[in-house]
Amino acid sequence: MPKPLSAETIACVKATAPAVAAVAPQITKAMYGRLFQDAHIKALFNHANQATGKQHHALAGAIVAYAQNIENLEVLGPAVERMAQKHIGYNILPEHYPYVAKALLGAIGDVLGEAATDEVLAAWGEAYWFLADLLKDREQAIRDEIEAASGGWTGWRPFVVAEKTVESTLITSFVLRPVDGGKVLRHKPGQYLTFRLDTPDRGEIKRHYSISNAPNDEAYRISVKREDGGQGGSRFLHDLVEVGTVLETTPPAGEFFLPQAPERPVVLLSGGVGLTPMVAMLETIAQRHPQLETAFVHGALDGPSHAMDGHVRALAKAHGKTSVATFYARPAANDEAGRTHDHDGLITVDWLKANTPFEAADFFLCGPRPFLKAFVGGLSRAGVASERIHYEFFGPADEALAV
Ligand SMILES: Cc1cc2nc3c(=O)[nH]c(=O)nc-3n(C[C@H](O)[C@H](O)[C@H](O)COP(=O)(O)OP(=O)(O)OC[C@H]3O[C@@H](n4cnc5c(N)ncnc54)[C@H](O)[C@@H]3O)c2cc1C
Ligand code: HEM
């Protein structure tokens, strides 16, 4: 635990937090301007998020949340864990922190002008390093744990694509084995890999993909939805990556996972490609938790885009205590409820109440933003305690439940 902040620092950060919050996006933007003057620091980032401005919001949000909770920092616990896990994925190291400190304080000076007195800058500097030390300590502990584990590694490790399987019109899976022939780290089911993809048109871009198989010593599988717009990470994987292609990834990361010894029934609730971490969890449940009551509830657009249904149903059958329900929002001509899927339309909280172990279960959720907003809010309004609601979002955390 870093040295506690002094009373003067807390008072000064508290007093200036509203002014900083009011211009946080500008400060973060100015900060990135300064930070990216260093090419080796710029290369650490994910340039698609930079292009859409998403990361600006994520870091601005973190700074504001931090300043506003300066007297009550324990509320940041889960956010610190998520940031630390993200940083592990991007291979952020202790030596990178001074660059952000310098850029952040410079940016506060740029935007606040005369209001950024020496005292204000010193207080924000101290506050930054408090949070930075928390993150660095946690990140070191995660790295130590990964390195000590069988199959663990640091930094970027090359993997060869051993299988490429079309799962639906939108989703294709890739099985990855380490080029060095060694073991892989057994991930926690629900965690993701971070890839640096060397794309021909956009250069190097970094993308996360949830691991869609149960932990084992040999291989990871990822299942990727093709997105037509954007920077093309998913198009690159679909169109240009074949069996034999080598891809580089950092070790599995993420704080969204099935506990090692689940204590309550489980509802795995997904929309679209959000099913990938759920399939990893379901495989794990089928292998290791024969007594665990499980409901796999999935919403897809239609039959042609629906992935891995046969696999999910086979796992459920083998497990014996798993129920599966699929909903199609816009069934295709050949789709028929009762034959190709279970229900037309959207999953609802009322349906979950009536058909899953609602009162007792841990809910694991992953899907597009409207899906997450509907269920994180809906479950909690229906009385599900927040510690029973776990969710992953396939973008920066602060966007998941944003308006
Ligand atoms: C923890 C985590 C796990 C993930 N797991 C998976 C997974 O298992 N499977 C999976 O398929 N994906 C997963 N993702 C998402 C994945 O990382 C990529 O975001 C996704 O593949 C899209 O990347 P892309 O480069 O193809 O498109 P991007 O460049 O990221 O664009 C994505 C979408 O944003 C839109 N967009 C981009 N730029 C702009 C702009 N300037 N203005 C407006 N719209 C814009 C595009 O039109 C496109 O539809 C995960 C993400 C996270 C954070
Ligand atoms: C106290 C210091 C820091 C804070 C508060 C912070 C905060 C954050 C937050 C909130 C996110 C988004 C997490 C999410 O999507 O859920 C993030 C991601 C990230 N951070 Fe940091 N960070 C800090 C230091 C650093 C440093 C020193 C670097 C490297 C120079 C760095 C590089 C990154 C990268 C590359 C990402 C992922 C970006 C993306 O999604 O495009 N961070 N950080």
Residue nearest to atom 39 of ligand 2 (CA): 46
What is the 8-class DSSP label of residue 310? H
Specify the pLDDT at position 244: 98
* Boundary-marking domain end, from 85, 114, 148: 148
Is the domain of 307 the same as that of 392? yes
* Boundary-marking domain end, from 249, 284, 313: 249
Specify the pLDDT at position 60: 62
Is the domain of 143 the same as that of 181? no
Specify the pLDDT at position 66: 81
Domain residues for the domain of 59 are 7-148
Sheet holding 266-271, edge to edge: 343-344, 322-328, 294-300, 266-271, 362-366, 389-392
Q: Are 244 and 313 in contact (CB under 8 A)?
A: no
CB-CB neighbours of 6 under 10 Å: 11
Say if pTM beats, i.e. exceeds, 0.85: yes
With a cut of 50, list the residues of the chain below it in pLDDT: none
Ligand nearest to the CA of 49: 2
Question: Is the CB of 103 within 6 Å of ligand 2?
Answer: no
Q: Is residue 256 part of a domain?
A: no
Question: Is the CB of 250 within 6 Å of ligand 2?
Answer: no
Question: Is the CB of 56 within 6 Å of ligand 2?
Answer: no
Question: Which residues, including other chains, have CB under 8 Å from residue 82's CB and lie 6 or more apart?
Answer: 255, 397
365 beta partners: 269, 391
* Boundary-marking domain end, from 82, 117, 148: 148
Q: Which residues of 311-325 are buried (b: 16+ CB within 10 A; e: fewer)?
A: ebeebbeebeebebb
Q: Is residue 261 part of a domain?
A: no
Q: Is residue 259 part of a domain?
A: no
CA distance 31 to 24: 10
Question: Is the CB of 80 within 6 Å of ligand 2?
Answer: no
Is the domain of 177 the same as that of 131? no
Is the domain of 195 the same as that of 141? no
220 is catalytic: no
Distance (Å) of CA 257 to CA 13, 252, 285: 35, 11, 12
Q: Which of 97, 209, 220, 328 is catalytic?
A: 97
Specify the pLDDT at position 69: 81
How many domains does the chain contain in total? Answer: 3
Is the domain of 13 the same as that of 143? yes
Question: Is the CB of 90 within 6 Å of ligand 2?
Answer: yes
Specify the pLDDT at position 370: 95
First to last CA, the chain: 35
The set of protein residues with a Cβ atom below 6 angstroms from ligand 1 is 48, 51-52, 192, 207-210, 222-225, 227, 229-235, 254, 273, 276, 392, 394-395
Is the domain of 50 the same as that of 119? yes
The domain spanning residue 375 has which CATH number? Answer: 3.40.50.80
The domain spanning residue 199 has which CATH number? Answer: 2.40.30.10
Q: Is residue 134 part of a domain?
A: yes
Specify the pLDDT at position 168: 98
